[in-house]
């Protein structure tokens, strides 16, 4: 992979890297498409307390105003650039999954901050993506650290567990989180106390991690699996939500066994999700 460094960091001829697919496949909630930008695709957002504007230009991906150090330390791991998605796609045996992968070959699993992922997917339960985004933005604006980016505008980092614990359950409820407020508050308390130790969690297997996460109120199998996949790089972690349940019924039936997807089941899950939700739905 060739990367040029100047004012911007530029990946030349990026493979398996489609900004719209990456940011619209439901794995993250803080990057949004820049509707003003017409000569390609441009997204802006905040991760790891940093603002990023990233756009495509032909086959190049341009990380605007990004120093080499930030690219290597933050965005390279965030966009999972060390992983060979082409090889993973080529290895998929299942016919339907292979077709979904072909049509979603630009997806990459973002390596997000574990704490933010836990909260985001607690918020996601019985909820829809636009409203999830709105709630997370409100929580960030009220309790996250404010900073000014190179565009001169103010942005907000996702708040720490300490900040949300100190804010209290009532203030979290006021962000329109509804019945999830007590869950978020419980998660913040358990992370702060070390009852759920994020650093220790990084050493656990996918199954062990799920078991630990599910000790947090409001974290069940689906939220735990999403956290493992998007926050801890457990690519075998296979979240089953309403969309994937539909996919299983529609293409695989009752005899479905996740093990057919192997060690990259989680990545394949994203291909299936993207196909069903973004490709088929857009045809309607």
CB burial class (10 A; 0-12, 13-18, 19+) of residue 240? Answer: middle
**Closer residue to DNA, CB minimum distance, 159 or 239:** 239
Q: Of the listed pieces 32-40, 86-94, 175-183, 201-209, which binds DNA according to CB under 7 A? A: 175-183
- Mark 72-91 with x for binding to DNA (rule: CB under 7 A) and - for no binding: --------------------
Residue 257, φ and ψ in degrees, nearest 5: -135, 120
- Mark 7-26 with x for binding to DNA (rule: CB under 7 A) and - for no binding: ------------------xx
Distance spanning both ends of the chain, measured CA to CA: 38
Q: Does 144 bind DNA (CB under 7 A)?
A: no
Q: Which of 41, 157, 226, 265 binds DNA (CB under 7 A)?
A: 226
**Closer residue to DNA, CB minimum distance, 194 or 221:** 221
Q: Which of 35, 39, 126, 255 binds DNA (CB under 7 A)?
A: 126
Using alpha carbons, select from 233, 275, 280, 254 the residue that is nearest to residue 92: 275
Q: Which of 45, 77, 220, 262 binds DNA (CB under 7 A)?
A: 220
**Closer residue to DNA, CB minimum distance, 9 or 219:** 219
Whole-angstrom CA distances from 26 to 80, 88, 109, 226, 283 are 16, 20, 10, 10, 19
Dihedral sign, Cα of residue 78, residue 83, residue 85, residue 86: positive
Q: Of the listed pieces 6-14, 94-102, 143-151, 234-242, which binds DNA according to CB under 7 A? A: 234-242
Q: Does 217 bind DNA (CB under 7 A)?
A: yes
SS3 at position 228: helix
**Closer residue to DNA, CB minimum distance, 54 or 135:** 135
CB burial class (10 A; 0-12, 13-18, 19+) of residue 232? Answer: buried
Q: Which of 125, 141, 147, 149 binds DNA (CB under 7 A)?
A: 125
How far is residue 264's CA from residue 271's CA, in Å, rounded to a whole number? 11
**Closer residue to DNA, CB minimum distance, 62 or 122:** 122
- Which alpha helices (H) appear in the chain, and where do they start and end? 19-24, 68-70, 76-78, 85-90, 95-103, 114-123, 129-143, 161-167, 169-172, 181-193, 198-201, 206-213, 221-231, 242-247, 265-274, 281-283
* Total residues interacting with DNA, rule: CB under 7 A: 33
Q: Of the listed pieces 43-51, 139-147, 164-172, 235-243, which binds DNA according to CB under 7 A? A: 235-243
Q: Does 269 bind DNA (CB under 7 A)?
A: yes
Q: Of the listed pieces 35-43, 61-69, 194-202, 239-247, which binds DNA according to CB under 7 A? A: 239-247
Residue 148, φ and ψ in degrees, nearest 5: -105, 125
How far is residue 18's CA from residue 33's CA, in Å, rounded to a whole number? 13
Kindly state the smallest distance separating residue 144's Cβ from DNA, in Å. 20
Residue 52, CA atoms < 13 Å, CB-side half-sphere: 25
Contacts with DNA, residue ranges (CB under 7 A)? 25-27, 124-131, 173, 176, 178-179, 214, 217-224, 226, 239, 241-244, 269-270, 273
């Amino acid at each position: 992979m060739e990367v040029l460094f100047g004012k911007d960091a530029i990946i030349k001829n990026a493979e398996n890297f489609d900004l719209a697919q990456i940011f619209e496949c439901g794995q993250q909630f803080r990057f949004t498409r820049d509707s003003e930008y017409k000569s390609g695709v441009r997204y802006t957002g905040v991760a790891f307390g940093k603002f990023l504007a990233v756009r495509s230009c032909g086959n190049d991906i341009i990380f605007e105003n990004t120093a080499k150090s930030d690219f290597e330390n933050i965005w390279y791991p965030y966009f999972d650039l060390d992983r060979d998605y082409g090889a993973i796609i080529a290895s998929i045996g299942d016919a339907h999954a292979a077709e979904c992968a072909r049509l979603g070959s630009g997806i990459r699993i973002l390596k997000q901050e574990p704490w933010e992922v836990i909260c985001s997917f607690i918020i996601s339960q019985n909820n829809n993506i636009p409203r999830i985004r709105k709630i997370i933005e409100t929580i960030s604006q009220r309790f996250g650290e404010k900073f000014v980016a190179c565009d001169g505008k103010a942005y907000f980092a996702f708040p720490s567990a300490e900040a949300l614990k100190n804010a209290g359950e009532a203030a979290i409820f006021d962000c329109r989180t509804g019945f999830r407020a007590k869950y978020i508050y419980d998660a913040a308390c358990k992370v702060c106390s070390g009852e759920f130790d994020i650093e220790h969690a990084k050493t656990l297997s996918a199954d062990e991690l799920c078991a630990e996460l599910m000790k947090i109120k409001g974290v069940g199998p689906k939220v735990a699996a999403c956290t493992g996949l998007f926050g801890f790089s457990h690519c075998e972690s296979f979240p089953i939500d309403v969309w994937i349940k539909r996919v299983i019924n529609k293409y695989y039936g009752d005899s479905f066994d996740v093990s057919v997807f192997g060690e990259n089941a989680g990545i394949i899950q994203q291909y299936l999700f993207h196909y069903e939700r973004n490709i088929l739905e857009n045809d309607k």
